Amino acid sequence: MHAEGARHYAQTELTRRGATVLGPLHAERVAREVAEAILGHDSFNAGFGQHKLKGLLAAKYGGSPDTFDYATSRSPTGYLVQVLDRLEGCEPETMLRYVTEGVVHRKEPISQAIKTGIIDNAAYLQEVYDRIVQDARQVLAAAPFPVFLAFPGMQAFTRGLERLPHILGLLGTPPSVAADGFYHLRDGDRNVRLETVEAVREHFLPATRLLA
């Protein structure tokens, strides 16, 4: 929703401020083109946006979750912004933040927060990546699409996704809640019980750095 708010602000403010110089119709067209170039909304139709946020919005405001669909990007810049907006989700520090938010703000048990912030997040990121690539292939002309795939941010996103199975492997393959109700981090010959956010910070983050 931050992306949508920024896009809406850019379009409305450029329309308002440009009207006296360009005229209302020209200003509106320029503002729309700029807003669409700055931000796309492909990833809102996948991952967390698709599976969680749309349902929450539909429950709050009524109607179907499909009511909250967004148009896909129309320019290479829109897709690049989508990629840059998701890069940090591949970072273990961000996963720790998601886990912390689950425990502190949503009052989730630690194991549920780990599932949501680390395991589900990995699946969401892969789905977003696939959606962005699929939409870009369909929308962009033949020449810009390979350029988009070669974009350094896109390459970093790809590498981040390639690391995620190894990160999840620290929690077991497939990740599973142990009999005592907690996730256990594989650390050599011992299993460390991840029973608090502090344990995730102390043991999970250092273990992921060894995978780099």
| Tens digit of each residue's pLDDT (9 = 90 or more) over 151-172 | 999 999 999 999 999 999 998 7
- Phi, psi of 91, rounded to the nearest 5 degrees: -90, 135
pLDDT value of residue 113: 95
Rama region for 107: left / alpha / beta (φ>0; ψ in -120 to 50; rest) = left
Looking at the predicted structure, is the pLDDT value of residue 40 above 60?
A: no
pLDDT of residue 163: 95
Element holding 48 (H helix, E strand): helix 47-48
Looking at residue 206, what is its pLDDT? Answer: 92
With a cut of 70, say whether residue 7 has pLDDT above it: no
DSSP assignment, residue 44? G
Q: Is the pLDDT of residue 1 over 60?
A: no
The more confidently predicted of residues 85 and 33 is 85
Closest to 72 in 3D by CA, of 125, 128, 27: 128
Q: What is the pLDDT of residue 165?
A: 94
Place of tokens 């996948």: 46
- Predicted TM-score (pTM) of this structure: 0.79
Per-residue pLDDT band for 203 (boundaries 50, 70, 90) equals very high
Q: Please state the rounded mean pLDDT for residues 177-197.
A: 84
Beta bridge partners of 184: 193
Q: Confidence class of residue 41 from pLDDT cuts 50, 70 and 90?
A: low
Mean pLDDT of 130-145: 88
Closest CA to 118 of 2, 197, 212: 197
The rounded distance, in Å, linking the Cα atoms of 82 and 44 is 10
With beta carbons less than 8 A apart as the criterion, state whether 66 and 28 touch: no
Q: How far, CA to CA in Å, does 96 sit from each of 18, 121, 199?
A: 43, 11, 11
Averaged pLDDT for residues 176-194: 82
Q: What does the CA dihedral 155, 157, 158, 160 come to, rounded to 10 degrees?
A: 120
* pLDDT tens readout for residues 50-61: 888 888 888 888
